[in-house]
Amino acid sequence: MLKGSIVAIVTPFLNGKVDEKKLSELVAFHIKNGTNAILPCGTTGESPTLTPKEHERVIEVCIEAANKKIPILAGTGSNATAEAITLTQHAAKVGADASLQVTPYYNKPMQEGIYQHFKAVADSVDIPIILYNIAGRTARNIEPETMARLAKDCKNIIGVKEASGSLDQTSAIRQLCGEKFLIFSGDDALTLPTMSVGGVGVISVVANIVPGEVASLCQAVQEGDMKKAQKIHYKLLPLVKAMFIETNPIPVKTAMGLLSLCSSELRLPMSTMADKNVSALKQALVDYGLLK
């Protein structure tokens, strides 16, 4: 059910409010362009700045717009276990196909606390759970041994978005968790390397603006056409780097505004992109052929 290119979709804002019409249009845009699944309310979707009601509504809008044509992987994690359970139960109730659960951030729990947190969330619902390991934002790594324990004890914990940047760790996860455990790259630049060691796809930022290319990269690897995959990888790489000139999702939101895909409006503490970085971003879009 979950493989290939999963877009970490932006949350479009208009005059301070979630632009539900534009969000529905973006879902349709991804369905048309071959994206394999949609992740609302991830980091790229500015989930920390959404109110609980907005968070729930964004997920609902994506489910309604997708209309079962592609899966919805709802971002429902939190650093508070009770809140993560509430958000995940809501997502399950309204028809999400699976849930993405970020490591509890700021609290800095021990591995036992991480295990107990994810187990409590998994036990509260029947839908599949994908872990989200990004120590650069959360200050805690989910150790491969902890993932293996969770995969063994919780049948609905089926995979991980691995954003450690370490292929050694990705390989250890594959060895300890088995071939059925789904590993998604959490970094667009590492999609091809991650898939080469057993990953099944990417949860992507750059797919917000080039969904077809990211889907084609994943498909090429799945079909064993590494020459084609490498060609797409190297074409995408400068654009991917431009998406991280500043903290995500500032560059991708700015790019989407430049490409008239949605408003570039952000919510504080995300700030408007610096002029010199906008120039570099525009050049990357021109070089890729997206902007004249």
List the catalytic residues: 132, 161
**Cβ contacts of 206 within 8 Å, gap of 6 or more:** 188, 214, 236, 239, 240, 243, 252
- Distance between CA atoms of 210 and 77, rounded to whole angstroms? 27
**Which among 94, 98, 138, 96 is positioned nearest to 117, based on CA atoms?**
138
Which amino acid does the sequence have at 99? S
Helix 111-123 to helix 81-94 angle (10° resolution) is 30
Kind and range of the H or E element at 162?
A: strand 157-162
In contact, 242 and 276? CB cutoff 8 Å: no
